[in-house]
Amino acid sequence: MAINLTKGQKIDLRKDNGDTLTNFCIGVNWGAIETKGFFGLTKNVQNIDLDLSCILIDENNNICDHLYSPLYRVEVLQQFGLPKGKLLTSDNAMKHTGDDLEGDKGGDDGIDNEIITVDLSRINSNVSQIFFFLNNAGREDFSQIPYAKIRMYEGTPTRVNSVFASYNVSAEPQYTGKQSIIMAKLYKRNGEWKFSAIGDPTEDTFLGQTIHKIVKSYL
């Protein structure tokens, strides 16, 4: 049975059968904003472009790798001391499915919009923490977006076999005026990987600000 996480909750990666979860997907799902138009006879749809990203932190609390959209402008990233975006980590252990620029229309389709696949057995041994965060490329705040959920599951980007844990992080008053969320982290403790639901909204309007905030306040 899937674990429904609450803010700040920490869990290990042991499944019901005692095995440890090592190959899984971290997915984020969200909806476009849909409102009724002329006398309720038409429907207005506003695309929502959220960006799921992650940074990998080594044992010395330095960023050692990253996954975020290659569509971010290099000259803007450079202002924050960040390299160009990419979709595959240097050890090939984590892969991003790429940008979803719209969000679900007509309700939740059951498939996550952006997904990072993880193989813990291949992650460089010096990695101690992996932070996952979400930025809105538009101007809407998270209180306006119908839903935004993060989940960890076994399967592929197009097929969910078994959901291990999920965390609903939107539609709450604390997200009013916020366009970024530090969602969760994987972290290593005594040689074992664990997962923590963070769910902290921020006022950042760009990915570089969120990364700087993680480095300054969460390490």
30-45: per-residue pLDDT in tens? 888 877 766 666 678 8
Residue 128 CB partners (closer than 8 Å, separation 6+): 57, 58, 59, 187, 188
Rounded to whole angstroms, the Cα distance separating 16 from 18 reads 5
Rounded to whole angstroms, the Cα distance separating 184 from 131 reads 6
At the fourth CATH level, the homologous superfamily of domain 3-217 is: sav2460 like domains (2.60.60.30)
Asked if residue 63 has pLDDT above 90, the reply is yes
Q: Show the tokens assigned to 51.
A: 């960006």
Mean pLDDT, the chain, integer: 88
The candidate with the shortest Cα–Cα distance to 183, out of 113, 115, 133, is 133
Asked if residue 217 has pLDDT above 60, the reply is yes
90 backbone dihedrals φ, ψ, rounded to 5°: -65, -25
| Mean pLDDT, range 89-116, rounded to an integer | 87
Asked if residue 171 has pLDDT above 60, the reply is no
- Residue for token pair 């959920």: 149
Reported confidence tier of residue 172, pLDDT bands at 50, 70, 90: low
Q: How high is the pLDDT of residue 120?
A: 94
Task: Answer whether 47's CB lies under 8 Å from 145's CB.
Answer: no
| Mean pLDDT, range 53-73, rounded to an integer | 96
Rounded to whole angstroms, the Cα distance separating 219 from 18 reads 30
Residue 120 CB partners (closer than 8 Å, separation 6+): 13, 21, 22, 23, 93, 186, 193
104-124: per-residue pLDDT in tens? 787 777 789 999 999 999 999
Spatial strand order in the sheet of 23-30? 3-4, 159-168, 148-156, 23-30, 114-119, 94-96
| % residues pLDDT > 90 (the chain) | 49
Reported confidence tier of residue 61, pLDDT bands at 50, 70, 90: very high
Sequence spans of domains, the chain:
3-217
| Mean pLDDT, range 123-142, rounded to an integer | 90
Instruction: Report CA torsion sign: 6, 9, 156, 52.
Output: positive
176-216: per-residue pLDDT in tens? 788 888 989 999 998 899 999 998 888 898 999 999 999 99
| pTM across the whole model | 0.90
Q: How high is the pLDDT of residue 56?
A: 98
Mode of pairing for the β-strands spanning 159-168 and 148-156: antiparallel
